[in-house]
């Protein structure tokens, strides 16, 4: 919860234990999730310490909730990592075009269930009885909003992000969506900066439509940074987002894991992805075993430029990392980060080059890593490189997207804390 100055006044969290779908594949428990959200909101509406004016949601956007005519979910919340059957994959692309063609047109690599539009195609042919009973399919953020305002609505950040649903050149649903009658299962698009009136516990609330989390987290930067910039958002995935690169995605870029997101205003953001946070997690586990240290020992390691220089930091180089090749944890960790920064530069350059950007912001886990930030700044000597921090960025972005409807104050100028390297 934020006040009108966007200070956090309340936050809570819950770890929802995964369940399994009918095929035995892990998935989030939609029932537990929604029950917890409802209970918390009703509790705060009854709390005289707060006057809640508006409500919005941001979640991962790659899973659908399929509703029947009573408004109840018909299926588990299928995991976007669930394997996509080869026969369905072949059927789709043999009917509507090659993977390269569809990828270029929808601005996303072929990613199976992570292309959430293909979840609907899969449902139609693997669970036809469920597809027939489905009145509407809502992405998770829009489903959570629906629970409170009661309207079937879609938003462009969810529809336009690696779904294979949206034709970026034509700025409309791809032709396969209508050909498969998938469009009849999708709710009308609703503007991300507009609100729906809702009444809860005899109190009137303004409710946003919900946003894809990556697009929501980008909003504080769009609102605060006036010069051309790009953002490297680091976590399990490290995603570089450049709103100032207007060139269309090429087949070569898509093959190197580039894609486009949508801003809440409906404009494309060229992006590249790197699985660097996951690699960092796996390699530091090996290092903890090999050097007999605590799993989080890397937090104590200080940046030593001489240690990097001695082994030769070269932004053009690659190579395989093996912690057993180094005498100390510190030397090994410097080399791991050196490798990840080299990979990051290669990934970032895919969307950085030939754009007017001169400022690079890094948020998430690696923004707190002094070794990573120093080496990234060294890799980009002609740019201003900043570690950035935004508390609860996705929630903040969701609140900012509907600012004009609930907040009487001007936007604050200090939404982002930065440190230049």
Q: Residue 243 and residue 152: Cα distance in Å, rounded? A: 29
Weakest mean pLDDT among 337-341, 344-348, 412-416: 412-416
Nearest to 111 by CA among 257, 242, 235: 257
Q: What is the pLDDT of residues 136-165, one digit of tens each?
A: 999 999 999 999 999 999 999 999 999 999
Cβ atoms of residues 154 and 142 within 8 Å: yes
Q: Which of 149, 140, 141, 143 has the alpha carbon at shortest distance from 195? A: 149
The predicted-structure confidence for 288-310, as pLDDT tens digits, reads as follows 999 999 999 999 999 999 888 76
What are the domain boundaries of the chain? Answer: 19-209, 213-276+338-420
pLDDT at 315 over 50: no
Whole-number pLDDT of residue 42: 93
Nearest to 61 by CA among 121, 152, 141: 141
The Cα–Cα gap between 159 and 151 comes to 17
Percent of the chain having pLDDT more than 90? Answer: 89
Which stretches of 98-149 are DSSP H helices?
99-106, 116-126, 128-133, 140-149
CA 52, CA 41: separation in Å to the nearest integer?
9
CA 87/CA 108 separation, integer angstroms: 21
Domains 19-209 and 213-276+338-420 share a fold: yes
Residue 314 is predicted with a pLDDT of 52
Q: What is the pLDDT of residues 123-136, one digit of tens each?
A: 999 999 999 999 99
Average pLDDT over residues 252-260: 94
pLDDT in tens, 363-408: 999 999 999 999 999 999 999 999 999 989 999 999 999 999 999 9
Q: Is the pLDDT assigned to residue 316 strictly greater than 60? A: no
- Kindly compute the dihedral angle of the four CA atoms of residues 351, 387, 283, 392, in this order, to the nearest 10 degrees: -90
CATH tag for 213-276+338-420 (out of 3.30.420.40, 3.40.980.10, 3.30.70.20, 3.40.50.720): 3.30.420.40
Pick 317 or 59 by higher pLDDT.
Answer: 59
**Cα–Cα distance, 154 to 143 (Å, whole number):** 9
User: What is the length of the chain?
Assistant: 421
- Looking at domain 19-209, its CATH class is alpha beta
Q: Give the DSSP H or E segment for 205.
A: strand 203-207
- Say which residues have a Cβ less than 8 Å from residue 368's Cβ, sequence separation at least 6: 387
Model confidence at 313, in pLDDT bands (50, 70, 90)? low
Q: Where are the alpha helices (DSSP H) in 207-304?
A: 213-224, 251-255, 276-290
State whether residue 102 is helix, strand or coil: helix
Q: What is the pTM of this model?
A: 0.89
Q: How many CB atoms lie within 10 A of CB 169?
A: 10
| pLDDT per position as a tens digit, 194-243 | 999 999 888 999 999 999 998 999 999 999 998 999 999 998 889 999 99
DSSP annotation of 363 reads: E
> For residue range 20-73, what is the model confidence (pLDDT) as tens digits?
999 999 999 999 999 999 999 999 999 999 999 999 999 988 899 999 999 999
Inform me whether the pLDDT recorded for 319 exceeds 80. no
3-state secondary structure of 334: helix
Beta-carbon count within 10 A of 63 CB: 22
Identify the bridge partners of residue 262 per DSSP, sorted by sequence position.
268
Residue 318 has pLDDT above 80, yes or no: no
Mean pLDDT of 177-205: 95
Residue for token pair 């804390």: 417
pLDDT, mean over the chain: 94
């Amino acid at each position: 919860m934020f006040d009108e100055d966007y200070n956090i006044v309340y936050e809570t969290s819950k770890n929802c234990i995964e369940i399994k779908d009918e095929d035995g594949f892990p998935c989030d428990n939609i029932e537990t999730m929604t029950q917890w959200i409802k209970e918390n909101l009703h509790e705060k509406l009854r709390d005289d310490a707060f006057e809640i004016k508006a409500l919005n949601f941001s979640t991962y956007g790659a899973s659908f909730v399929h509703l029947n005519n009573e408004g109840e979910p018909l299926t588990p919340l299928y995991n976007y990592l669930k394997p996509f059957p080869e026969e369905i994959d072949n059927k789709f692309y043999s009917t509507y075009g090659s993977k390269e063609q569809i990828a270029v047109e929808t601005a996303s690599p072929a990613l199976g269930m992570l292309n959430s539009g293909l979840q609907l195609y899969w449902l139609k042919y693997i669970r036809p009885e469920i597809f027939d009973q489905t009145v509407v399919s809502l992405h998770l953020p829009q489903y959570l909003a629906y629970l409170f305002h009661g309207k079937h609505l879609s938003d462009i950040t969810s529809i336009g992000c690696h779904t294979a649903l949206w034709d970026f050149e034509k700025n409309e649903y791809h032709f396969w969506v209508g050909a498969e009658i998938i469009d009849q299962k999708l709710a009308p698009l609703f503007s991300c900066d507009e609100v729906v009136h809702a009444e809860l516990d005899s109190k009137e609330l303004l409710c946003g439509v919900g946003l894809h989390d990556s697009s929501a987290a980008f909003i504080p930067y769009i609102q605060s940074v006036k010069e051309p910039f790009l953002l490297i958002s680091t976590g399990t995935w490290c995603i570089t987002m450049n709103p100032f690169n207007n060139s269309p995605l090429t087949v070569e870029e898509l093959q190197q894991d580039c894609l486009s997101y949508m801003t809440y205003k409906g404009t494309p953001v060229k992006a590249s992805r790197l699985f660097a946070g996951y690699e960092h997690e796996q390699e530091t586990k090996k290092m903890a075993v090999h050097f007999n240290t605590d799993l989080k020992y890397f937090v104590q390691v200080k940046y030593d430029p001489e240690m990097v220089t001695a082994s030769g930091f070269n932004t053009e180089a690659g190579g395989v990392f093996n912690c057993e090749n180094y005498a100390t944890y510190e030397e090994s960790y410097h080399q791991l980060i050196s490798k990840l920064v080299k990979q990051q530069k290669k990934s970032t350059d895919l969307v950085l080059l030939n754009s007017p950007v001169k400022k690079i912001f890094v948020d998430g886990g690696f923004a707190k890593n002094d070794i990573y930030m120093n080496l990234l700044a060294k890799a980009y000597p002609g740019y201003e490189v900043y570690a950035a921090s935004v508390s609860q960025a996705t929630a903040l972005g969701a609140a900012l997207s509907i600012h004009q409807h609930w907040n009487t104050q001007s936007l604050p100028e200090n939404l982002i804390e930065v440190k230049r390297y």
